[in-house]
Amino acid sequence: GWPRSCGVRGGAAMDLFGDLRRMNKRQLYYQVLNFAMIVSSALMIWKGLIVVTGSESPIVVVLSGSMEPAFHRGDLLFLTNFHDDPIRAGEIVVFKVEGRDIPIVHRVIKVHEKGNGNIKFLTKGDNNEVDDRGLYKEGQNWLEKKDVVGRARGFLPYVGMVTIIMNDYPKFKYALLAVMGAYVLLKRES
């Protein structure tokens, strides 16, 4: 007796431990797949927005105070970029300049329209003293439609501050991503 029952008890414990390990592995795979689904869904929504709005960046965050009081740092802008819409003075556009990585959000102050339909325009930040010619690439005095990323159609105040904090403090960004990743992987299905 005695040693045999002890061996059985130990074997049962080992089987239980093996079952737990297999279950945890299955749960881990499930959570990884769950995480992949969330990421792919977000990418699909983003690509869908690009198609619907016609803009390569349908949502942008205002990074400076150059457009105050219209927009403040951290405001989230919703953009569209339909090529049939004519660009008009007073409109707020987001444009990219050669040699600069970050697009700029400023107001159109002058528009030159030629007979053949070509449009050139000049921009300026509401909070700036001078127009944007100093921001354009050297020798460029006007923007064209090809420079436009989108036009502001709506905004949410200060929602983009998280993005600014993550840019200003990279350690915060990695900590936040680690916490979010750990939450998704460790979350138990209820």
Q: Distance (Å, rounded) from C-alpha 31 to C-alpha 2?
A: 44
- How sure is the predictor about 17, in pLDDT bands with cuts at 50, 70 and 90? low
* Total count of domains within the chain: 3
63 and 100 assigned to the same domain: yes
Q: Enumerate helices (H) and strands (E) in the chain, giving the number of each.
A: 3, 7
Q: Are residues 144 and 70 in the same domain?
A: yes
Instruction: Look up the pTM and report it.
Output: 0.71
Residues of the domain holding 49: 12-53
Residue 115's pLDDT is 81
Query: Per the domain annotation, does 140 fall within a domain?
Result: yes
* Cα end-to-end span (Å), the chain: 44
Q: Are residues 47 and 88 in the same domain?
A: no
- Token pair for residue 107? 């107001």
State pLDDT tens for residues 73-90. 999 999 999 988 889 999
Same structural domain, 150 and 124: yes
More confident residue, 108 or 138: 108
Instruction: Give the least confident one: 5-19, 87-101, 141-155, 159-173.
Output: 5-19
Residue 149 confidence (pLDDT): 93
What pLDDT was estimated at residue 182? 81
Residue whose C-alpha is closest to residue 123's, from 157, 156, 87: 87
- pLDDT at site 173: 81
Given a contact cutoff of 8 angstroms between Cβ atoms, the answer to whether 171 and 178 are in contact is no
Considering the domain boundaries, does residue 45 fall inside one? yes
More confidently predicted of 20 and 80: 80
Q: Which residues are catalytic?
A: 66, 106, 132
- Find residue 59's DSSP bridge partners: 78
Query: Are 67 and 134 members of one domain?
Result: yes
Q: Are residues 105 and 147 in the same domain?
A: yes
CA 149 vs CA 52, 73, 105, 188: distances in Å: 14, 19, 10, 42
What's residue 11's pLDDT?
57
Is residue 82 in some structural domain?
Answer: yes
CB count in 10 Å sphere of residue 178: 10
- Are the C-beta atoms of 159 and 165 separated by less than 8 Å? no
Looking at the domain assignment, is residue 5 inside a domain? no
Q: Report pLDDT for 165.
A: 85
Assess if residue 2 is contained within a domain.
no
The answer as to whether 174 is a domain residue is yes
Confidence of residue 15 (pLDDT cuts 50, 70, 90): low
